[in-house]
């Protein structure tokens, strides 16, 4: 769903900073007040149901498609200026941050701070001018000391990234991902966004360089810990198989002796992670103060996709108290129906048909699974990978909704389009039939004392035989049929003709599949006039 972003954008991790006043959190009270059937131990974050998350996202919308826009564009030549992003761009990015925080169960009350907006904008502008992504930018020639001070301070105190033109996407799909080799061991960008001590932020953007002011720690009295991503109820839309899992505890976690068990509840498959034993994926513990310290990081191998309805149990041992929680993935906008434009009920052998799939409602952000039940039809995989097709993408990076099917063998096949969780399924039956043949000639000849019409049809070695249909009525009323049960036998004869009539003739081939005959389409009609002076 979000493919292409991590190849487009680079993020540089904000240096680990000590945040004063952050106490070691060692309480044991869970702030889980809903859905008693979902139990969590050793964490203290709010539990939000799927519908509550949907409602929050609806009421705090983030635009993941539109490019960043300005009230005033920056000036990238001396004497330079920072410009100003418009309110819609800034508010969308802020909503994306608070969406993440609400999903994670921490207070979604971060606000925009004008000073922080200026600093973040300075970070983006100076990095764009220098065309270098860094927290420690050099002073461009011709920039004033005053402006450089703003830009330098902003770069030092911000998450910075490059390569994308939408700020909101940067929050959810770049900073929250952090899966590349320079970031995965710390997940610093994610942890700054999910820092419970954050109260305010600001955003900057210029020429594909983006910045988010991160070091805001005035909310020092919070008691939220065990901040997990993916969260207890997690939109599939905001998490991908390439993303590492993490949970931040708010206190120093032993770097050895910690063991993580990740169990997929649907099939009881287990992944184990440890520093002292072999792990079923990436594993690390980081105690640097990127927001909240004590971060346990793990990324399971072998998961191709998270889908609606997937449930996982996380159990962590080796801490000073038990820790376990469940992660349930869901679709923000569930698919309620699937529509396909141009689905045929029959196609000719060797034919390729482009099908257009649409998920309903239109704002359903989801992938569909396209499959066939036999080798009669083949998916080209031109637009899909293993039949998975993205019909909508939240960040706008992928809008293809087509698949090409190829008729490989004669027969009847079922094409199925379904949501990945299988809750919505549509099936279509398609016949693969012989290609349309032709009549080479239909001539009146004399056989002994009688006239006959000799007919020769186009030969097709792949079929079982041919049918010839003829009538003296151009609409083929009271038509008569002749058959050949061999692809080699292409000749037919019409005897006992009626004088002074026009004979209308057409043909089609057929194949036998089991006890069923599959007919191709009829050829063009040929006329043969039989009159007294023919």
In the numeric block, the tokens 């030092």 are attached to: 156
Alpha-carbon gap, residue 454 to 443, rounded angstroms: 5
| Cis check: omega of the bond before 46, within 30 degrees of 0 | no
Largest Cα–Cα separation, the chain: 116
DSSP string of 456-475?
A: EEPP-TTSSEEEEEEESSTT
268 φψ region: left (φ > 0), alpha (ψ -120 to 50), beta (else): left
DSSP 191-257: HHHT-TT--EE-EEEETTEEEEE------TT---B-EEES-SEEEGGG--TTSPEEEE-SSPPPSSS
Measured from the Cβ of residue 18, the count of other Cβ atoms closer than 10 Å reads: 9
Per-residue tens of pLDDT for the chain, all 534 residues: 343 344 445 566 554 443 333 333 333 334 444 443 468 999 999 999 999 999 999 999 999 989 999 999 999 999 999 999 999 999 999 999 999 999 999 999 999 999 999 999 999 999 999 999 999 999 999 999 999 999 999 999 999 998 888 999 888 888 888 888 889 999 999 999 999 999 999 999 999 999 999 987 666 667 899 999 999 999 999 999 999 999 999 999 998 899 999 999 999 999 999 998 889 999 999 999 898 899 999 999 999 889 999 999 999 999 988 999 999 999 998 889 998 887 899 999 999 998 888 888 877 876 788 889 989 998 876 555 556 666 555 554 444 467 788 999 999 999 999 988 889 999 999 999 999 999 999 999 988 788 999 999 999 999 999 999 999 999 999 999 999 999 999 999 999 888 899 999 999 999 999 999 999 999 999 999 988 665
- Between CA 190 and CA 253 the distance in angstroms is 18
Count of C-beta atoms within a 10 Å radius of residue 220: 13
Give me the DSSP letters along 86-100: -HHHHHHHHHHHHHH
Asked if 119 and 200 count as a contact pair (C-beta separation under 8 A), the reply is no
CA distance linking residue 157 with residue 147, whole number of Å: 16
Q: Distance (Å, rounded) from C-alpha 210 to C-alpha 282?
A: 28
Question: What is the rounded distance in angstroms from the CA atom of residue 240 to the CA atom of residue 289?
Answer: 25
- At 112, phi and psi to the nearest 5? -80, 135
Calculate the alpha carbon distances from 54 to 49, 332, 502 in Å: 9, 6, 71
DSSP label of 139: P
- Give this prediction's pTM: 0.80
> For residue 202, which of 123, 135, 273 has the smallest C-alpha distance?
123
Could you tell me the CA-to-CA distances from 374 to 168, 377, 399 in Å, in that order? 43, 7, 28
Rg of the chain's alpha carbons, rounded to an integer? 34
């Amino acid at each position: 769903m979000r493919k292409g972003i991590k190849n487009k954008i680079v993020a540089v991790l904000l240096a680990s900073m000590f945040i004063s006043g952050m106490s070691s959190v060692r309480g044991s009270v869970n702030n889980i007040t809903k859905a008693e059937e979902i139990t969590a131990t050793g964490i203290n974050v709010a539990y939000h149901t799927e519908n509550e998350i949907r409602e929050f996202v609806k009421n705090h919308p983030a635009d993941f498609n539109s490019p960043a826009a300005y009230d005033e564009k920056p000036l990238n030549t001396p004497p330079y200026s920072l410009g100003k992003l418009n309110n819609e761009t800034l508010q969308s990015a802020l909503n994306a941050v608070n969406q993440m925080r609400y999903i994670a169960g921490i207070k979604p009350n971060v606000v925009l701070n004008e000073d922080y907006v200026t600093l973040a904008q300075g970070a983006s502008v100076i990095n764009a001018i220098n065309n270098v992504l860094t927290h420690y930018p050099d002073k461009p020639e011709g920039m004033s000391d005053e402006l450089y001070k703003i830009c330098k301070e902003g770069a030092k105190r911000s998450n910075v990234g490059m390569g994308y033109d939408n700020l909101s996407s940067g929050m959810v799909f770049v900073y929250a991902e952090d899966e590349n080799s320079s970031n995965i061991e710390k997940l610093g960008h994610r942890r700054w966004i999910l820092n419970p001590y954050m109260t305010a932020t600001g955003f900057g953007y210029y020429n594909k360089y983006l910045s988010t002011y991160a070091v805001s720690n005035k909310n020092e009295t919070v008691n939220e810990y065990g901040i997990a991503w993916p969260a207890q109820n997690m939109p599939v839309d905001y998490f991908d198989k390439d993303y590492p899992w993490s949970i931040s505890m708010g206190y120093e976690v032993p770097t050895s002796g910690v063991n993580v068990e990740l169990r997929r509840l649907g099939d009881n498959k287990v992944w184990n992670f440890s520093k002292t034993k072999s792990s079923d994926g990436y594993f690390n513990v980081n105690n640097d103060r990127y927001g909240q310290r004590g971060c346990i990081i793990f990324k399971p191998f072998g998961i191709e996709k998270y889908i609606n309805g997937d449930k996982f149990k996380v159990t962590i041992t080796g801490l000073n108290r038990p820790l376990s929680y469940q992660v349930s993935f869901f679709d923000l906008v569930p698919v309620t129906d699937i529509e396909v434009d141009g689905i045929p009920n029959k196609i000719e052998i060797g034919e390729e048909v482009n099908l257009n799939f649409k998920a309903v409602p239109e704002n359903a952000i989801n992938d569909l699974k396209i499959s066939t039940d036999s080798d009669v039809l083949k998916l080209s995989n031109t637009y899909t990978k293993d039949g998975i097709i993205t019909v909508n993408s939240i960040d706008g990076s992928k809008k293809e909704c087509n698949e090409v099917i190829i008729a490989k063998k004669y027969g009847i096949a079922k094409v199925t389009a379904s949501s990945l969780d299988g809750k919505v399924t549509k099936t279509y039956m398609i016949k693969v039939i012989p290609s349309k043949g032709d009549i080479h000639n239909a001539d009146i000849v004399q056989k002994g004392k009688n006239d006959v019409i000799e007919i020769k049809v186009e030969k097709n070695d792949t079929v079982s035989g041919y049918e010839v249909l003829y009538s003296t009525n151009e609409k083929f009323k009271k038509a008569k049929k002749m058959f050949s049960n061999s692809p080699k036998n292409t000749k037919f004869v019409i005897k006992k003709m009626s004088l002074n009539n026009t004979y209308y003739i057409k043909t089609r081939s057929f194949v036998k599949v089991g006890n069923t005959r599959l007919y191709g389409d009829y050829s063009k009609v040929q006329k043969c006039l039989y009159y007294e002076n023919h």
